[in-house]
Structure 1
Amino acid sequence: MDYNFKKEQAYIKAKKKVKDIKGFYIHLVIIFFSLPIIILTNLMFVPGFHYFWFSVFGWGLAIFFHGISVFGLKGLGFTKDWEENKIKEIMEEHLKKEI
């Protein structure tokens, strides 16, 4: 009975971690599509002052720290079913810590 509780608790923690990872990738996609619009707008309307660098550095720092908070210093990898694999991996980590 105690094992089932630990397994369910590990699943909940793993699911939260996957949600955080998905949030990071959404953040990355938004930046990827927004920065070119900001750069283009700046260069079209105020070509003498390149204020887009403030956005580039600000969002660059934000995505860096967001990535560190989500992944730590580990590398990234994708498989076909990365979400399910990530949930299983995180569950196994939590179960090993509990046992």
Structure 2
Amino acid sequence: MARKYRSWEEQYSEDNRYEAAVRRVKRIKGFYTHLLVYLLVNAFIVFLNIQDMKEGESYFQIKNFFTAICWGIGLLAHGIRVFGYDLFFGQNWENRKIREYMDKEKKEKWE
């Protein structure tokens, strides 16, 4: 027969997991909002820069990319904070790589 009531520890643990999940979802939503604003503002800046260009002038000058680069660094830091340092290597990357090299060495040794 199933229990109707959970213990205090089970309830507290479940509440903590729920609150942690809510915080994580809010952080992810905040990052995507930041990314959207970054894209919209930089698209607008590109538009303004193209409008202000003189005839024969190249668009590819550092002044035209300064905002995107600096803000992009901040956006990258925000992404790392939200998604963790596993953003580049993935979860358990080190363990997978070690296993791969061990398997490769074992295979080469027996062939």
Measured against the shorter chain, the TM-score band is 0.5 to 0.7
Alignment partner, residue 21 of structure 1: 28
Alignment partner, residue 37 of structure 2: 30
Work out whether 1:70 is the aligned partner of 2:82: yes
* Count of aligned pairs: 76
RMSD (CA atoms): 2.1
Letter in 1 for 2:80: I
Identity %: 29
- Which has the higher relative contact order, 1 or 2, with Cα contacts under 8 A spaced 6 or more apart? 1
Letter in 1 for 2:42: L
Compare CA radii of gyration and give the structure with the larger one: 2
Runs of 4+ in structure 1 deviating by more than 3 angstroms, as ranges, are: 46-50
- Displacement of 1:46 in angstroms is 4.6
- Displacement of 1:13 in angstroms is 1.2
TM-score, structure 1 length as denominator?
0.67
- Displacement of 1:73 in angstroms is 2.5
Offset from partner CA, 1:32-66 (integer Å, 9 cap, x none): 11111101212212545842211110111011000
Name whichever of 41-50 and 56-65 sits farther off: 41-50
CA distance in structure 1 between the partners assigned to 2:64 and 2:78 by the alignment: 21
Structure 2: which 5+ residue stretches go unaligned? 1-7, 88-111
Structure 1: which 5+ residue stretches go unaligned? 76-99
TM-score, structure 2 length as denominator?
0.60
Identify which of 50, 69, 72 aligns with 1:57: 69
Letter in 2 for 1:29: L
Offset from partner CA, 1:14-42 (integer Å, 9 cap, x none): 10111000000011111111111101212
Letter in 2 for 1:62: G
